[in-house]
Structure 1
Amino acid sequence: MRAIVHVMLKPGVLDPQGEAVRHALGSLGFDGVNGVRQGKVIELELAGDDPKTAEAQVAEMCEKLLANTVIESYRVEIV
């Protein structure tokens, strides 16, 4: 079973990497990009076959290690 975790900065948290990407896109001629938020995607290969158990386990991983829940939010997909 595979889990995909999407981690993004929470709204209101400054995103200097996203701002650098937005600026670079403008420099390359891509007008009209008013904002960029950059995040990360983490793919996990998990043993087991119970999606609810896997989702709970991955959420615990996010809370303890994969996301800084003070400034980041996360979303878990079990596929």
Structure 2
Amino acid sequence: MYLAKVIVTKKASILDPQGETIKNALQNLDFKKIDDVKQGSYFEVKIDADNQEKADQITNSICKELLVNQNMESYKFSLEEV
């Protein structure tokens, strides 16, 4: 069994209005050294796979087919055996 931890964020070329709003709010709270904020999504998926390579393939498929809008978002993930 593997646990996939997936982080999805907007691509650098895509406007992130939520991230900009959070950045402005932090600066208004006197966090003046905040330069940029990216808002995204985090998923944890338990995968019943025989090995890490298979879990990696399944996680990539899940991301590409459902979790990520590949036109606007990018993703990264890590796997750990549980």
Give TM-score scaled by structure 1 length: 0.93
What residue is the counterpart of 1:2 in the other structure?
3
**Percent of aligned pairs sharing the same letter:** 34
Alignment of 1:1-79 (within 5 A): 1-79=2-80
Structure 1 segments unaligned to the other structure (5+ residues): none
| 2:42 partner amino acid | V
| 2:51 partner amino acid | D
Deviations along 1:22-74, one digit per CA (max 9) or x if unpaired, are 01001111102121111111101111231110111110111110000100011
The structure that is strand-richer by fraction is: 2
Aligned equivalents of 1:27, 1:77: Cα separation in 2? 34
The number of residues matched between the two structures is 79
- Larger mean CA deviation between 34-43 and 13-22 belongs to 34-43
| 1:38 partner amino acid | Q
Aligned equivalents of 2:12, 2:60: Cα separation in 1? 20
Counterpart secondary structure, 1:44: strand
Give TM-score scaled by structure 2 length: 0.90
